[in-house]
Structure 1
């Protein structure tokens, strides 16, 4: 993504689409963005200087970003001697939403005017992004910093996205037609979409440079949280000394606990205008069965099979998950 001289000029030259009836999206280098996100992405591309010990969390929208932020924040706040830094007197997650501690480059950091000076931040720094791998600042790609990517079943991702953006609609408007959302998702016209291209970029890079990119599956994190969180902590250079440490951290960051904290039951996210509660719904694997019609599910399955063919990536099948079968490759 080469920085243009004018974002306005850039938008005038790009394909335009809409999502959820009136949310304008523009396509740049094969991916769709809201104008302010694209402008911030361009700014981050030219201004962000990665450090060797930075950690970047990456995800498509509605794939478990908030959960991953909480987990990685708590893992990295632990002291190097394996003593849990988040003790009872310093429960930081009870004070602020996870996004307060782990800011998204193109949604929070670089939408600020002027962008903040990040050079004074204490290392190791922790950021998040929804940008596809191809649009990441070159300094992230070329440094030794680590990337953790979380992927999720596309059907649950779609349903979570539908619920999330419905929060922007008034009671008079009612929910946006589900079939329209399915159509947009299948066509790739959604925030930072196409979904499958986004996932595959990070998957393919994780195969090339596994020491730099850890690929995590939402369903595996749900099914076997202790092993997955231990894998995450080891990758971040903060392995657990005892099983109990991992168990306590998993509880601290659990969806059930986070959604019931007062800070997340009240208040509004200042960057996107969403209530904090909108970031914590059910988190249930297979919830799509309660929302999508069988025909919708079959269509998405067909697209999934076609898009992932030959990649070696299996986005977890819900029935196999319920039967205790891991599809992590």
Structure 2
């Protein structure tokens, strides 16, 4: 929808001199992207990124969730939010579960979308109680020095690139008007392979965090969406332990938390059927679509699969990282 695109593209006049100097591409014939320090940004997100670098002061007990777009962000937000809430005496009664009233994308606010906004480029976060929980799509290189140098922890989630692309395609199609219709998948595929999408390139984003997590496993936990799907209990234990919130009565607590945060439950909550993200105007239901592994098979041709698999192999060669193909 046009209003959504206007919200996504909005930036202040103070950013214009920088934008004029940066490489520019059009994403999906609708959105202007600018390349800054190797990654592609919508103008408002680039403005926020620079504000974050200049003003965000991390605390040692902050937790920063990170993802490239459409790699399991909202599931991770719900899981981490619920893990942290569990330790503050939250009630088990469903009506008192915050997820019933708050859409997942707002349970953990995204720094460059919900916190550092065009109308408030330098918010005062000093009054927030600790531990604070934030999210960002920014590359590791674009994080503020205070995040990198403090005792704050980072949880990164990624996903196989083919499912990431299909999820991205469905998500951005939800912002298009009926007159526009769905964007051709073939063109979306080419753009993804070229790395031209918000916060892309995908592989550069993933590799930055993978390499840093290898150096600092105490600071950065690297998760794969497919592992969370295949071994949810094991990965949830690992996540809770990393966050300093290990489970006591493991089986009962874990089962309850996994149910609360399950995509099936979240999709059927009234708030996610009718709510929307105030930063973009996008319906909250668009953030919670299918969530299965292997959905790419419904869209990819054999040639597309082979090409993206080759790119994946080439990009990850020598890194020690393996992604589902």
* Interval containing the TM-score (normalised by the shorter chain): over 0.9
- Of 108, 120, 140, 2:127 maps to 120
Partner in structure 1 of residue 100 of structure 2: 94
Q: Which SS does the other structure have where 1:117 is aligned? A: coil
Q: TM-score, normalised by structure 2?
A: 0.93
* Match among 28, 43, 66 for residue 36 of structure 2: 28
Q: What is the alpha-carbon distance in structure 2 between the residues aligned to residue 239 and residue 89 of structure 1?
A: 25
Structure 1 residues 16-45: Cα deviation after superposition (integer angstroms, max 9, x where no partner): 001111210000010000000000000011
Distance in structure 1 (CA, Å) of the matches to 2:131 and 2:214? 25
Q: Which runs of 5+ in 1 are unaligned?
A: 318-329
Deviation track 1:186-244 (CA, whole Å, cap 9, x = no partner) reads: 00100000000000000000000000000000000000100000100000000001211
Q: Distance in 1 between matches of 2:73 and 2:94?
A: 25
The residue aligned with 2:4 is: none
Structure 1 residue ranges (4+ consecutive) displaced by more than 3 angstroms after TM superposition = 83-89
**Rounded Cα–Cα distance in structure 1 between residues aligned with 2:154 and 2:113:** 18
Q: Pick from 88, 102, 109: which aligns with 1:103?
A: 109
Moved more, 167-176 or 221-230: 167-176
Q: CA deviation at 1:87?
A: 3.9
With the length of structure 1 as denominator, give the TM-score of the two structures.
0.92
Give the root-mean-square deviation of aligned CA atoms.
1.3
Q: Does 1:67 align with 2:82?
A: no
Q: 2:106·2:277 contact (CA, 8 Å) conserved in 1?
A: no
Structure 1 CA distance for aligned equivalents of residues 203 and 271 of structure 2: 33
Task: Structure 2 unaligned segments of length 5 or more: list them.
Answer: 1-12
Q: Distance in 2 between matches of 1:177 and 1:71?
A: 33
The counterpart of 1:211, out of the listed 182, 199, 218, is 218
Query: 1:107 offset after TM fit, Å?
Result: 1.2
What is the 5 A alignment of 1:1-329? 6-79=14-87, 85-114=91-120, 115-242=122-249, 243-317=251-325
